[in-house]
Structure 1
Amino acid sequence: MLKKILHEDVRVTKKVVELGTKVTWTRSLRNHSNLLEVSCHGIVWLAGWLTFIWLFNNKDFYQIQVNLLIALILDIVVIAVIKAFVRRRRPVPMNKLLEVGPDKFSFPSGHASRACLVTTLLILNDLPIYCYPPILAWMSTVCLTRILAERHYILDVLAGVGIGLLEAFLMYLLWLSQGTCASIIASLSDEKVDGGEYHV
C-alpha cells in the first residue's frame, strides 16, 4: 500500500511539474524558486531572527522574539529527525543540470513546515489584518515552488504543512509569558532587562 501511495505521489508530482512549465504564471513562479527558497531557509531565519532580537531590544517584542526563536529551533530539530528516519530521496529533476543541494532527503519539506509555522504564529499573535494577504501569499508560493522546482514531492509538502501546523499549535499551548521571555533575553544578553523576573 505504501509503495502504491509513493508511486502515485511521484506520478502526480511529475504531472504537476510538467503542467507548471506550460502555464505562464507557474513558469514565472518556478523561475523565482531560488529566491523563495532562501526566504524560508532555516539558517537564514535563525540568523535573521537573532539579528532582529539584537537590534530591536524592546520589551514589547520580547514575547514574540523568544517564542518564535524556540519554534524555529523546534522545527529544525523535528524536520532533521524525521528526514534522518524516513530517508526519502529527493525527486530527480527533469533538467539534469539542476542542483540537488547538500540535503539529499525529501520527506518532509522543511521549507513548507517553517513557512506554515511562522505564518500561523504571527497570525495568532495579533498580526495586523492588512499583513494577512502578503504573508499567506508568501507561505503558499514557498510551498508551491518546492514542487515546481522539483525539490519535493507533493506528499512531502503536505506533510511539511501538517507538521508546521502541529508545531504552531504546540507553541501556542506552551507560549512563554512576557516576564519569562524578558528573563531569557536578559540571560542571553548578560544585561538587566526591564520586565525580567530578576530585574533589580
Structure 2
Amino acid sequence: MPSPGARRSSWVNGSRPEPGPCARRRGSSCSCPAGGALSARRLSQPFTAVALRSLLAVDLWLSRRLGVCAAEDSLLGGIRPLVKLLELSAHRTPWISTAAYLLLTSRTAEEQEFTINLLLALLLDHIMVGVVRALVRYRRSGMFPTFPSHPRYSFPSAHATRAAMCARFLHARLLLEAPVQALLLVWAALMGLCQVLLGQHNVSGVTLALALGYCQYSLVERCWFPIDRLQDVLLTLLGDGQDT
C-alpha cells in the first residue's frame, strides 16, 4: 500500500494515482447489474414479438429489393409509365364511372341488378379499406418518395383489394370464357405486384389486401340485392318523399 507521501508526490507531478482494489471492485460491482438487467430484458421478450419484428424486417428488405420502378432512375424505371397505366386500371374513379354509366344505359332488369350491386360492392370496398386503415394505422414506410395526395396510412392497398374483389365479382357473375376468367385472375395478381414495383406498398400489405378483397365478395354475395327488392326499396323511398 503506498504511503501518504507517495500519493501526494504523484498528485504534485501531475499523474493521478490508480484506483485501489476496492475502487475497482466497486466500479465492477456497479456496472455488472446494469448489463445483466439489459440482457435479462432482452431474454424476457416473448418469442412472438421477436419473430414478428424479424418478419417485418424481411418484408421491408424484400419490398425494397422489388421496388425497381419506384423512380425514373430505378433499375426498371423505363417501364414505370406502363406500370402506372396498369395501376390506373384498378383506380376507383374509372370503376365507379363505368358502373354508373352502365346503370344509366342499362335496359333490362338483370343489367340494372348487376350494375347496382357492383356499385354497392365498390362502396363496400372503399369503406372496408378505410376502416382497416383507421384500425391498423400503419404509416407508409418511406421506402420511396410518395406524392402528397397519397393517404397517410398505406395498409391495406386499395388497388389490390379492389382488383381482387372486382375480379371475383366478374368471374362469378358473368358467363365468361375460360381464357377471360384466367385473365381476370392474372390482372388481379399483377395489380398487387405493380404496387410493390412502384414502391407504394410492402409485400405483406399487398398480399393481405388481395386476401381481403377476395373475401369481400363473399359478403357481397351474401348481401346480394335482387332487382325486385331494389324496386321495393326505391318505391318506398319515392313514396316517403311524396308524403313529405
Cα deviation, residue 171, structure 1: 1.2
Stretches (4+) displaced over 4 A: 18-23, 182-188
- Secondary structure at the aligned position of 1:111 is classed as helix
Q: Counterparts in 2 of 1:106-185, with a 5 A limit? A: 106-129=154-177, 130-183=179-232
Aligned CA distance change for structure 1 residues 19 and 122 (closer, same or farther; 3 Å): closer
Q: TM-score, normalised by structure 2?
A: 0.65
**2: CA distance between counterparts of 1:169 and 1:35?**
29
Q: Which of 52, 63, 66 in structure 1 is aligned with 2:102?
A: 52
Match of 1:195 in 2: none
Q: Distance in 1 between matches of 2:107 and 2:128?
A: 29
What is the CA distance between 1:151 and its match in structure 2?
Answer: 0.9
Gaps of 5+ in 1: 191-200
Cα separation, partners in 2 of 1:119 and 1:127, compared to 1, 3 Å: farther
Aligned 8 A contact 2:63 2:202 in 1: yes
Q: Equivalents in 2 of 1:125, 1:176: separation in Å? A: 13
Q: TM-score, normalised by structure 1?
A: 0.78
Paired residue secondary structure (1:60): helix
Q: Select the structure with the greater relative contact order (CA < 8 A; seq sep ≥ 6).
A: 1
Q: Which residue of structure 1 lines up, in the alignment, with residue 89 of structure 2? A: 39
Secondary structure of the residue aligned to 1:40 is: coil
Check 1:92–1:173 CA distance in 2 against 1; reply closer, same or farther (3 A cut): same
Amino acid of the residue matched to residue 127 of structure 1? Answer: L
Identity %: 23
Larger Rg, first or second structure (1 or 2): 2
Q: Indicate which of 149, 162, 172 corresponds to 1:101.
A: 149
Alpha-carbon distance between aligned partners in 1 of 2:205 and 2:125, rounded to the nearest angstrom:
15
> Please, which of 133, 153, 159 is the counterpart of residue 83 of structure 1?
133
